[in-house]
Amino acid sequence: MTVTAQHRYAEVNGVRLHIAEQGEGPLVLLLHGFPESWYSWRHQFGPLAAAGYRVVAPDQRGYARSEQPGDADAYSLLHLAGDVISLIHALGEEQAVVVGHDWGAPVAWVTAMLRPDVVRAVAGLSVPPVLPAGMAPPEAARQHYGDGFYQIYFQQPGVADAELGRDPASTFRRILSSGSGDRPGDTTPRPWVVPDGMTLIDSVPEPERLPAWLTPEDIDAFAQDYAGHGERAFTGPLNWYRNIRRNNELLTAFKGRGIDQPALYVAGDRDMVMSLRGIDELLASLKTVAPKLHRSIVLPGCGHWTQQERPAEVNAALLDFLGHLPDPSPARR
């Protein structure tokens, strides 16, 4: 798919981030998840820009064309929230609406929790707010799902890195297809658990054909975005997972904080996240955590890759949400 966004780099919070941007107007910042890039928002640029918004999607810290700090400790949620705030200011803005998918959602929720003066509204796709630290610590995940749970598997330095980086195009075909709502066979969502004796990459086989929403050109675009980091292409993204325990430690002081701003949640009913322990309670508590929740939308038949699988529905939900927001502050940096 051809995207007419402009590309450049911005120095923010000590790292060099690649960003794609299109349009003029109030700033809407789009944060991708694992293992993606700015390109996961390819269907959102045109409609949001045409509606009068300035749309910016970075490759987040460690991902794709952006800089990859070498220290694993440099990927905590405090670093990632700092990147968001610094990027908003580097773009000459005082405020933004922040939208996140997958890992981008915890970054969006936590940044909104920490800086309601800068994040004027927030939307999360797939992952609901798990405050204050984004997600449960690895000990809880291991207790519920065992050592094969993907978040536990990712903790081993160098292991998943090598498997995912061996053939990035194959990695994207496997992971994107396996998480799709229209994957062949049983579409009941289940946690991603690597069976004993199997490697991570073998637990998600090569698809016989790509899902209808994904093209070979899309796979090439993702793979090319990751080409610059060579064998370490996925080390930066995996280091996000290696900070889950630290996030819970670092953000303990914010326990009990919620989301003060207008909020939106969108997910698919075939999303793996919907199978995780406690998700029903999290969804039931959305209005408590985010009292100004505009809507909570569950898309039938949609898998994990919300804005890619169902761009028309996601765009309509985002535009409806944005249209109900108060006018932004006229202040600019």
Q: Which residues are catalytic?
A: 102, 304
Which tokens hold the place of 251? 């953000």
Q: How far separated are the first and last CA of the chain, in Å rounded? A: 34
Which tokens hold the place of 1? 């798919």
CA distance 111 to 259: 10
101 CB-contact burial (10 Å; exposed 0-12 / middle 13-18 / buried 19+): buried
**Which residues, listed in sequence order, are joined to residue 298 by a DSSP beta bridge?**
267
Cα–Cα nearest to 292, from 261, 256, 316: 261
69 CB-contact burial (10 Å; exposed 0-12 / middle 13-18 / buried 19+): middle
60: Cβ–Cβ under 8 A, 6 or more apart, which residues?
17, 31, 32, 66, 80, 83, 103, 104, 107
Alpha helices (H) along 18-76: 45-50
**Per DSSP, which regions of the chain are E strands?**
6-12, 15-22, 27-31, 54-58, 96-101, 119-125, 263-268, 293-299
